[in-house]
Amino acid sequence: MVPSVRCPLFQGIHELSIAESIADSVRQHAALRGGRRVRRIGVRVGDTSGVNAEALDFCFAIVVRGTDLEGAALDLERVPVRFRCEACGHEFEPAEFDPRCPACGVERGRLSGGDELSLAYLELDDEEPGRPGETTG
Amino acid sequence: MTERVPVRENVLKENDRVAAGLRAAFGGRGIFCVNLISSPGAGKTSILEGTLEALRGSSVRAAVLTGDIQTERDADRLRRHGFPALQITTGGTCHLDAAMVRRALDSLPLDGIDVLFIENVGNLVCPASYDLGEDVKVVVLSVTEGDDKPLKYPGIFRRAGLMLLHKMDLLPHARFDPAAAVADARRVQPDLEVVETSCYGAPGLGAWIAWVQRRLEAKRAAEPHAQP
Ligand SMILES: Nc1nc2c(ncn2[C@@H]2O[C@H](COP(=O)(O)OP(=O)(O)O)[C@@H](O)[C@H]2O)c(=O)[nH]1
Ligand SMILES: [Mg+2]
Ligand SMILES: [Zn+2]
């Protein structure tokens, strides 16, 4: 089971800041590549990153509305919590952070994945944009 | 046609960059910085009030930055204890970020400070994502919140170096199993240290204050060139 993580104060406010950070980074990368139009943005969201993917999706749409990034699809990939057994090296997805290794039975699983919150890829148009206005819609 | 460009970078890299600058500023002055995180009402401000009061008679010079969504109340409480305290009002944002701390430090000179406490906005989720340049995140879990919280909010327990099990004076009245809370928290963070505290009665704040002093001394020993 994945613990659900939500902003206990104002649902979504935290994801709003995260969405703004994503939009800023994406614009920097697109600018470095001739300002080509961004079609798709891949983001990896770890289960212990504290970010709710649904809320992030919602906030991203708000943040880019009316901007150059409007219409770009956000591809959110969930990264599950992973443990690595310190006894035998086996990697597994624990239930509720249970450290018992399914391979050797020893309780020495340590977190090895699921923390990340990263920009993974961009999909850009091959063509450089024409006059302003031409590429919207 | 489109082209896919791999990127692979932390979404919060800009925050991390500012935080790295803060960490260098703290390190250069030998300042030990604590980022205190809990849900609202767990007792962060009370713990800091008791801590400042205790440090008043020692050689340790403290300062506090305290985050709140709206009010200046926590800074007002904290300023009564002989050390500088500055409020950061976030105006709706449910966490502090590194840029807010950097701006606040324009009004809080770092010279002559040994320990900087940052009281984060009361919230167990969002503050976990933001590095503030601290040496350690300390999570406060009070016994009235339930021992199931470490697995419900793994992100903050994962990133904490110390957990304060707080309001221990209320343990007889709360159905809270400290051993279970500690075991669950260590499933998420095996290296987590734990100290039991109370502002009103045993076990008091002594063990926590001694922990801060030890960590300050350890930092000074590791960075001997830092100016005292
Ligand atoms: N019984 C008891 N109450 C406490 C303790 N520490 C704080 N409180 C109370 O908890 C409430 C919230 O405390 P506060 O310090 O404002 O929490 P914050 O929101 O985390 O800063 C106040 O009514 C405090 O008096 C404690 O150790 N024991
Ligand atoms: Mg407070
Ligand atoms: Zn194993």
Q: Which of B36, B38, B44, B46 to mutate to test the pocket of ligand 1 (most atoms within 8 A of CB)?
A: B46
What is the domain partition of chain A in residue ranges?
Answer: 12-80+114-124
pLDDT band at residue A127 using 50, 70 and 90 as cut-offs: confident
Please check whether residue A52 is in contact with residue A8, taking contact to mean a CB–CB distance below 8 angstroms.
no
**Ligand 2 geometric centre to CA of B45 (Å):** 4
Domains of chain B: 4-221 (3.40.50.300)
> How do residues B3-57 score in pLDDT, each as one tens digit?
999 999 999 999 999 999 999 999 999 999 999 999 999 999 999 999 999 999 8
**Ligand 1 geometric centre to CA of B47 (Å):** 8
Residue of B nearest to A43 (CA): B11
Is the pLDDT confidence value at A9 over 50? no
Q: Residue written as tokens 């340590």?
A: A110
Assign domain A12-80+114-124 to a CATH class. Answer: alpha beta
- H or E element that contains B72: none
Is the pLDDT confidence value at A12 over 50? no
pLDDT of residue A11: 45
Q: How far apart are CA B35 and CA B29, in angstroms?
A: 17
Whether residues B151 and A99 touch (CB distance < 8 A) is answered with no
Q: Is the CB of B39 under 6 A from ligand 1?
A: no
Q: Strand B32-37 to strand B136-142: parallel, antiparallel, or no bridges (unpaired)?
A: parallel
Whether residues A5 and B190 touch (CB distance < 8 A) is answered with no
Whether residues B14 and A98 touch (CB distance < 8 A) is answered with no
Length of chain A in terms of residues written: 137
pLDDT of residue B206: 98
Q: At what angle do helices B44-55 and B206-222 cross, to 10 degrees?
A: 70
B70 to A134, B74, B77, B118, B143: CA distances (angstroms): 44, 11, 15, 17, 26
Please check whether residue B11 is in contact with residue A14, taking contact to mean a CB–CB distance below 8 angstroms.
no
Sign of CA dihedral B121, B127, B132, B134: positive
Q: Which atom of ligand 1 is nearest to the CA of B46?
A: 15
Residue of B nearest to A37 (CA): B2
DSSP state of B78: H
Sign of CA dihedral A18, A22, A23, A24: positive
Average pLDDT on B141-147 reads 98
Residue of B nearest to A115 (CA): B155
Length of chain B in terms of residues written: 228
The pTM score is: 0.92
Determine which residue's CA is closest to atom 25 belonging to ligand 1.
B46
Q: How far apart are CA A70 and CA A6, in angstroms?
A: 25
Distance from CA of B40 to the nearest CA of A (A): 10
Mean residue pLDDT across chain A: 86
Q: Is the CB of B69 under 6 A from ligand 1?
A: no
